[in-house]
Every structure is written in C-alpha cells, then in structure tokens.
Amino acid sequence: MWLNSILETIGNTPLIKLNKVTKGLPCTVLAKVEYFNPGNSIKDRMALKMVE
C-alpha cells in the first residue's frame, strides 16, 4: 500500500493490544500509537483541519 501524501497518514492511528499488561484480566486494553503520525503527536489532526 502506498499513499499520495504524508497528510493521508493523519487520522489512521493504529491501536495496539497490550497483552502483558492485561495478562490474567478479563478485559482488553488498547493503546493508541500516536507516534505513527507525521508529527508524532495527536496535534496533527487539529493542524490538518486548520489548513484544510
């Protein structure tokens, strides 16, 4: 898969399941990996909306 612009990566932040943290617990804990965004921050979404 390839993208036409780095801006297309904003808003598609992956969720990662934390297996070791929840071992033995009857729940699922997910962590949002914001460093996958171009600016390594959740602020990328806000900045993109301001530019658009």
Q: List the domain range (segments joined by +) for residue 45.
A: 6-51
Determine, yes or no, domain membership for 18: yes
Determine, yes or no, domain membership for 28: yes
Check whether 12 has a pLDDT greater than 80.
Answer: no
Q: How confident is the model at residue 1 (pLDDT cuts 50, 70, 90)?
A: low
Q: How many domains does the chain have?
A: 1
Q: State yes or no: is 43 an active-site residue.
A: yes
Write the pLDDT tens digit of every residue in 18-50.
999 888 899 999 998 877 777 777 777 778 778
Determine, yes or no, domain membership for 22: yes
- CB within 8 A of 43, min separation 6: which ones? none
Backbone angles phi, psi at 31, to 5 degrees: -115, 135
pLDDT value of residue 30: 92
Determine, yes or no, domain membership for 1: no
Asked if residue 44 lies in contact with residue 37, where contact means CB atoms within 8 angstroms, the answer is yes
pTM higher than 0.85: no
Q: 17, 32, 43, 49: which is the annotated catalytic residue?
A: 43
